Structure 1
Amino acid sequence: MLNFLSLTTMFFVSLAVAALSAVLLLHPRVPLTFVRIHTGIITLPALTALVSLITNHTNGIFGPWHFDALGWLMAFFILTIGLIVQRYSVRYLLGERSYRKYFALLTLTTGAASMTWLCNDFRLLLACWAATLLGMTLLIGLNREWQVARKAASFSGRQFLLSWLFSFVAIIWLAQVSGHWQFSLAISDDGLRQLDSWERTGINLLLVLAVVIPAAQWPFHRWLLDSAVAPTPVSAVMHAGFVNVGGIMLTRFAPLLSGDFAQIFLLVLAGISVLLGTGIMLVQVDYKRQLVASTIAQMGFMLVQCALGAYEAAIIHLILHGLFKAGLFMQAGSAVRHYERISRTPDRLSFFWKVVGGVLGLLVGVVYWLTAPGEGYQLISSLILGWSLSFAWTQMIAYGQGTIERMAGFSVVAGMALVFGFIHYVLSGVLHQAVYQHTQPSMLVAIFALFILVSGSTIGAWLGRHASSGSFAVLYLWLVRLGDPHPVTVESHPNYLVKYISRGGNYK
């Protein structure tokens, strides 16, 4: 059996080979058919991370690296997303002028991102995270001939630089006060005892600001709307593996954040982002920007989980959301189709089945919460489980037409529940020892979260009953404006194509 040192060596060697393959691909004399070989090469680090995740059940520190289940899981997840998207892009982007550059940048960016969460040295972590931010900026502006893409990349790059500076100041501050550059020592009990309460709050506030920017949370959400001009595969990687950084970083710094005032600050920004992202998604007509708004809301919910101390739930959420959103982006081209609207007229049994679904969701949520009522993770999971079951039951069963359709809907709901239970069981087993568990939300944080949930539901219900009112019109137009990107990142058609056509269809 491979030992710990052999696996880590194989992982970094495979990453180095993948990076060398990416650089080699940039040479114009290398045939484009090498791309298929390259996508085979980048499979190696993902497989090595998977083997390490399965076989390595203990924490291991090797030089500036910290190998644990969370780090291996994130490395495997990021590299797998990059592999899937690159395989998808082999034919999708064929003919693009930046074809070679795209594969090289994406390989280097996902490689740097995968190493970020394996770092045990603060300086190395900052370097890897800076490389990830730079790579994502270059990917957004991949088409340099298109002015809109350059503007979007410029704005996103400035936002990313601000995020990195926040994290730089926070990490340097923590390292200086704790007296350790090693991550594991700085956030240990002995290291945290070196911090005064105001220093702890200051560092946490900087970390929160550092993570809400790449997570596209209000008021820093506009960069993600601007980035919709990036190629669809770039958007898939961005929404699947890049915006999730907030949940991973806050989980790593959980011992520092737990019980601090910064949790309330995070909850406020994330709660507002959930409401605004959902509203923008409902009023947008552009499909990619609907997905962007959905990501804003989903990342807000993930950060709400972190604010409540449910770090395990946040990691599971970001993984499932990443896989789901990557799939949506890669099939975005088939989103526009002609179809006939199907009108459903609820029968007399619909109301009864809706009540049954609501009661069933409530019972399942309460029973699940009572299995461990003192854990913040259990509270969040019970809310998600109960609401999801009630919603699925209403859509698949209560609104079904006739007995056969309701039976089919019940079969689908039951199958989804089994799949969810299996995935949840596997990921919980992997993360239980690696994720900070000894935390639960303070009463103030829990009350504030409940207030956001109730107020959002109340406002939504009121607007649904007053869709023709002036307040609804004002809110609708405000959300439309809030969901619009910067004017300089919007064109009715790509102006650079005029130059392309004038040259007879020759890019060169």
Structure 2
Amino acid sequence: MLNFLDYFSWSTVFFIVLGVSVCSAFLMLIPRIPVNYVRVHIGIIALPPIVALLALVSNNGSVIIGPWHFDSLSWLWSTFVLTIGLIVQRYAVHYLLGDRSYQKYFTLLTFTTVADSLAWLSDDLRLLLIGWGVTLLGLTLLIGLRKEWKVARHASKISARYFAISWAIMLIAIVWIEQVTGHWELSQVLSQNSLAQLNAVEKTCINLLLLLSTIIPAAQWPFQRWLLDSVVAPTPISAVMHAGIVNAGSIMLTRFAPLFNGDAVQVVLLVLSSISVLIGTGIMLVQVDYKRQLVGSTIAQMGFMLIECALGAYLAAITHAVLHGLFKSTLFLQAASAAQQHKPVAHKSHVSSSIWIIIGGGLGLLLGIAFWLTSPDEGYQLVSALILGWSVALAWTQLVAFGTGHIGRIAGMILFAGAAIVFKTVHIVFEKLLHDAIPSGIQQSISMGILLLVILLVTSAIGTWLVRKNSKTSFVIYLWLIRLGEPKKKLVESHPKYLTQLLSQGGNVH
């Protein structure tokens, strides 16, 4: 009873401040509201993530109140999404100042993040469907909000098509689930009695539908085009998109884990995600446009996240989604500083750098082996060990091996140690907070992990060999990746034509 009352009070306060935030967003659509009201709005939308964080810290277990499901996972995701929305809107106060749709951006950003948080707080599948649909609709409108720009309108239409297909597929899956189980409540659907009503064919077909509705907004192969075309959106919109919406596939598959676990669809997800990792990494390496590099990175990272789901490691997938969201939103908000002028060229000792690189590689290898030995029978641990070892070696190379002089390397070591401490702390905290809310899943066998590892390593080795050989095949792959990541003709303008039209009409251009 105490847990119920605690969550009832937290949920009541949360919905109140969330409602106030939505009302504040509506106010900005009124022409008489001054532009300076945006700063007041920022203060108002700071309340929901604070309340969600306090509810998360209280950690009183899982409680279902009406159509809502309150547990540590739903509170964590609400805290994460609403915090990202708050940071981005605060950043946009100056970044978007002077835009014709200035106040509309804040309204749509608020609606989108609120709908995203409510979607995964709901226990009723109909509310989940509505919340996720509003989220995708809000994102579509944000991409094309600069209506006078033909390129933005076209990118918005492309995203709308992909999102509509994804939402329609989810609708079919949810209606199918209700027809078989007789329940709209997710908690009832995932009960043993309800799952027993699904035969093998029905379960596989429903999981395939859920898989498709997940990988489309996650920009996984072959549905990555919409995310590549969305780079025309303002940088704050890209930050929200990559941090709070693209990575929602992890929580979707986590919520449906009892239905998804043990099904052959996990293998399908594993294959598609592995292809996405390779393609996303290739796009990131060949692109010269900074935002498209970030898009390629997101495609690859979402691939790794879904691989974790396919292997039954849902805690790792949620942790990955949150950390990637924070990291990627930071990179987007710093996109303007990507081009540095008059950067001094540092003359480094090649021999000295090579020694430090070898040290970093050895350190990554040792840590990867040590991590795998903690649970050598789980297929996910082998893949995770590879990612950890590679990340350690890369971080060491960037922070220490390429440091300038002794001071630069010492500073790099301090940053490296700090990042390691933060990573370990976050992992421990998430494991403590989410151990009751996230299903352990059916861990895939070590053979599945070895197979995935071999595919990734062999493909990477072949790609590296082809590039170094400068063969005809390597040039074909290189050009194919460039073409895959480049925008179509409708998304390119030699100069912003809509600005010319505004000037010819005597309008003000900010």
**Normalising to structure 1: TM-score of the pair?**
0.95
The answer as to 2:96 corresponding to 1:93 is yes
Structure 2 partner of 1:255: 258
Long gaps (5+) in structure 2: none
Give the distance between the partners of 1:412 and 1:19, measured in 2 at CA.
40
Give the distance between the partners of 1:124 and 1:227, measured in 2 at CA.
27
1:53-98 residue CA offsets vs partner (Å, 9 max, x unmatched): 0113300000011111110000000000000000111111111110
The answer as to 2:403 corresponding to 1:391 is no
User: Which residue identity does 1:145 align to in structure 2?
Assistant: E
CA separation of 1:412/1:180 partners in 2, compared to 1, >3 Å: closer, same or farther? same
Structure 2 partner of 1:235: 238
- DSSP-derived class of the 1:61 partner: strand
Deviates more, 1:373-382 or 1:360-369: 373-382
* Alignment counterpart, residue 138 of structure 1, candidates 126, 132, 141: 141
The answer as to 2:478 corresponding to 1:476 is yes
- DSSP-derived class of the 2:350 partner: coil
Structure 2 partner of 1:414: 417
**Structure 1 residue 410: Cα displacement:** 2.9
**Percent of pairs with identical residues:** 58
User: Which residue identity does 1:155 align to in structure 2?
Assistant: I
Alignment check: 8 A CA contact 1:217 1:269 kept: yes
Give the distance between the partners of 2:401 and 2:290, measured in 1 at CA.
28
Deviates more, 1:183-192 or 1:398-407: 398-407
User: Which residue identity does 1:441 align to in structure 2?
Assistant: Q
- DSSP-derived class of the 2:273 partner: helix
Structure 2 partner of 1:372: 375
User: Which residue identity does 1:420 align to in structure 2?
Assistant: F
**Structure 1 residue 308: Cα displacement:** 1.2
Alignment check: 8 A CA contact 1:140 1:230 kept: yes
Structure 1 partner of 2:428: 425
* Alignment counterpart, residue 488 of structure 1, candidates 487, 490, 493: 490
CA separation of 1:401/1:176 partners in 2, compared to 1, >3 Å: closer, same or farther? same
Give the distance between the partners of 1:106 and 1:368, measured in 2 at CA.
40
Structure 1 partner of 2:276: 273
**Structure 1 residue 295: Cα displacement:** 0.9
* Alignment counterpart, residue 175 of structure 2, candidates 169, 172, 175: 172
**Structure 1 residue 28: Cα displacement:** 0.4
Structure 1 partner of 2:301: 298
Alignment check: 8 A CA contact 2:59 2:433 kept: no
User: Which residue identity does 1:506 align to in structure 2?
Assistant: N
CA separation of 1:80/1:376 partners in 2, compared to 1, >3 Å: closer, same or farther? farther
* Alignment counterpart, residue 112 of structure 2, candidates 109, 119, 122: 109
Give the distance between the partners of 1:474 and 1:280, measured in 2 at CA.
14
Structure 2 partner of 1:64: 67
Q: Between Structure 1 and Structure 2, how many residues are aligned?
A: 506
Deviates more, 1:67-76 or 1:497-506: 497-506
**Structure 1 residue 171: Cα displacement:** 1.6
* Alignment counterpart, residue 122 of structure 2, candidates 116, 119, 141: 119
- DSSP-derived class of the 1:271 partner: helix
Give the distance between the partners of 2:33 and 2:356, measured in 1 at CA.
62
The answer as to 2:173 corresponding to 1:156 is no
The answer as to 2:52 corresponding to 1:49 is yes
CA separation of 1:506/1:65 partners in 2, compared to 1, >3 Å: closer, same or farther? same
Deviates more, 1:154-163 or 1:173-182: 173-182
- DSSP-derived class of the 2:439 partner: coil
* Alignment counterpart, residue 197 of structure 2, candidates 172, 191, 194: 194
* Alignment counterpart, residue 450 of structure 1, candidates 443, 450, 453: 453
Alignment check: 8 A CA contact 1:137 1:156 kept: yes
**Structure 1 residue 470: Cα displacement:** 2.0
**Structure 1 residue 350: Cα displacement:** 4.9
Give the distance between the partners of 1:284 and 1:400, measured in 2 at CA.
25
The answer as to 2:35 corresponding to 1:38 is no
**Structure 1 residue 413: Cα displacement:** 2.0
User: Which residue identity does 1:367 align to in structure 2?
Assistant: A
- DSSP-derived class of the 1:3 partner: helix
User: Which residue identity does 1:6 align to in structure 2?
Assistant: S
User: Which residue identity does 2:497 align to in structure 1?
Assistant: N
Give the distance between the partners of 2:391 and 2:166, measured in 1 at CA.
33
Structure 1 partner of 2:360: 357
**Structure 1 residue 307: Cα displacement:** 1.1
**Structure 1 residue 147: Cα displacement:** 1.0
Give the distance between the partners of 1:59 and 1:406, measured in 2 at CA.
47
Give the distance between the partners of 2:372 and 2:193, measured in 1 at CA.
33
**Structure 1 residue 377: Cα displacement:** 5.2
**Normalising to structure 2: TM-score of the pair?**
0.94
Alignment check: 8 A CA contact 2:383 2:449 kept: no
Give the distance between the partners of 2:388 and 2:277, measured in 1 at CA.
18
CA separation of 1:268/1:341 partners in 2, compared to 1, >3 Å: closer, same or farther? farther
1:306-329 residue CA offsets vs partner (Å, 9 max, x unmatched): 111111111111111111111111
